[in-house]
Structure 1
Amino acid sequence: MASISSQLILHPTVSQSIKLGSTTIGRDKLYRAVQYFSRFLAWFLLARGHKDQAARWNALKSHLALARKLLRLGKPMEHLQAALRAVQAYSAAETGEQITTIGRQLAYFGYLTYDTVVWANAVKFINLKPDTAQKVNKTSNRFWLAGILLSITHGLLKAGRLANEAKKLRSRSGEKDVGAEADREMRQRTLDMARSVTRHQFIIDILDVWIPAANLGLVNLNDGVLGIFGFITSVMALRQQWHIAGNK
């Protein structure tokens, strides 16, 4: 019995789950997945007249959203540092990518800074007038939308550059020099990995962009659609963090 318990408790999957949960980003993505699934489920139940059950999932969604804002305190500075590093890492061949990276990081800095004010007002640490609170929330969503749009632009630019590099590498295939061919294959694997990561982030951005757009009233999507979009992107990001935790 003790042996079976040890095998269960010390199972690699359990250990990997603990590693994932011990990171702030791992917990954030997990909370986000549950938050957006709750948003979808609340909409689904409410559409079928189950108001009491819908209220329970709505409450869970709201509390997780507030908890995630707390987890992100201090994160604006990470994005500000990332913007500064992008400024310092100048590359003439990747000017467009660099500009969009800087813009994206600054936009996320603005988004999370205003989001901190939203959190402080929600927990009554500060007291904003309703119209001021609404303006702060709207500005936060504008920065969020700008950050995702810049991320999409960055992804398109990077995908185009990587595709051109892959095309050049394929034209060099079949070289007689064994060392040169081995180097080409290694660079091809690196490019394939970079293209996969870029596609992964692009899909996340394409789905996530509708959430701040809906919050700003630019599109008319119900909570069911937004909940599913948010849940899908959360699971995609969570899987990415799961693989990272497994490699540590």
Structure 2
Amino acid sequence: MEAWVRFNGQSPAKERLLRAAQYACTLIGYTLQRNGASAELLSGLKQLEGHLSLGRKLFRLGNSVEALEAAKRAIHLSDLVLRFCITVSHLNRAMYFACDNILWAGKCGLSPKVDQNKWSERSFRYYLFSLLMNLSRDLYELKLLMEAETRGKNPSAKLSEENGGVSRGPSSPRHPVAPQIRLLIRIFRNNPPLLLDLLKNTCDLFIPLDKLGLYKTNPGFVGFCGLTSSILSILTLVHPWLKLKP
């Protein structure tokens, strides 16, 4: 209960709940359409999805400043790769939120002359760049952990892996990929924040790819990815230790 009260008191938490509801509407609408639901029901879901999207944009007003502050903090990281990936990601997030704020003003009627298609495309482009940096950071951290795990093994095990995972002993594995899979499972089991961040960013990646026409899927798949990543984000807010740091 205490975790929920803490979660409910955060603006990002409310935005994540709206996001989850928005993509749930997308997924449900696509499923109902495939099953021949009435046009009136589909129209109602579409309107609800639009209202949830507009509400999310309201909660994100001013997030550009937070993203810029996060970029200023990240630029002091000692690791060069992490410094580059995290700083560039936050800068792209700042631009993404700025475009999103302009879209909000256009959709609310405060600035009716806003070209919503143009600013939506810009918004998703910055979002895509931010996600690519996040995924690069995840893969880099995974690489460091794999190297650390490999260095911690005994010399005979390392020699076996260097020879393609095949040793001359009678108990050598037939499939050289198996040790790598076991290594990944062990790393992810010991580092849940990295696993959650990698899954979340991978799910989110399909959203701008679809919206920009770079990898077209369907609304159902986009809704599923958005809902999954939203739930994972909510988990990191309810349990802060699950959030990848720095």
| TM norm structure 2 | 0.79
| Pair 1:78 & 2:61 matched | no
Tell me the residue number matched to 1:6.
none
1:193, CA displacement in angstroms? Answer: 8.3
Output the amino acid matched with 2:226: G
1:100-123 deviations in whole A, cap 9, x for unaligned?
Answer: 111111111110110000001000
| Pair 1:210 & 2:206 matched | yes
Output the amino acid matched with 2:96: Y
Taking the aligned partners of 2:220 and 2:188, their CA distance within structure 1 comes to 35
| Pair 1:36 & 2:19 matched | no
Aligned match of 2:119 in 136, 142, 147? Answer: 136
Taking the aligned partners of 2:152 and 2:49, their CA distance within structure 1 comes to 48
Structure 2 stretches of 5 or more lacking a match? 155-186, 242-246
Matches within 5 A, 1:36-185: 36-50=23-37, 51-89=39-77, 91=78, 94-129=79-114, 132-168=115-151
Taking the aligned partners of 1:244 and 1:83, their CA distance within structure 2 comes to 20
1:49, CA displacement in angstroms? Answer: 2.5
Q: Percent identity, aligned pairs only? A: 23
Answer whether contact 1:101 1:154 (CA < 8 A) is retained.
yes
Taking the aligned partners of 1:194 and 1:144, their CA distance within structure 2 comes to 29
- RMSD value, Cα: 2.1
1:149, CA displacement in angstroms? Answer: 0.8
Tell me the residue number matched to 1:183.
none
1:196, CA displacement in angstroms? Answer: 2.1
1:226-247 deviations in whole A, cap 9, x for unaligned?
Answer: 00111111111112222249xx
Answer whether contact 1:87 1:98 (CA < 8 A) is retained.
yes
Tell me the residue number matched to 2:164.
none
Structure 1 stretches of 5 or more lacking a match? 1-11, 172-190
Number of residue pairs the alignment of both structures matches: 209
1:170, CA displacement in angstroms? Answer: 5.7
| TM norm structure 1 | 0.78
1:70-125 deviations in whole A, cap 9, x for unaligned?
Answer: 00111111111111111123x2xx21121111111111111011000000100011
1:129-150 deviations in whole A, cap 9, x for unaligned?
Answer: 5xx3211111111000010011
Output the amino acid matched with 1:218: L
Tell me the residue number matched to 1:233.
229
1:35, CA displacement in angstroms? Answer: 0.8
1:193 to 1:104, Cα distance in 2 relative to 1, 3 A: farther
Pick the structure with more helix per residue: 1
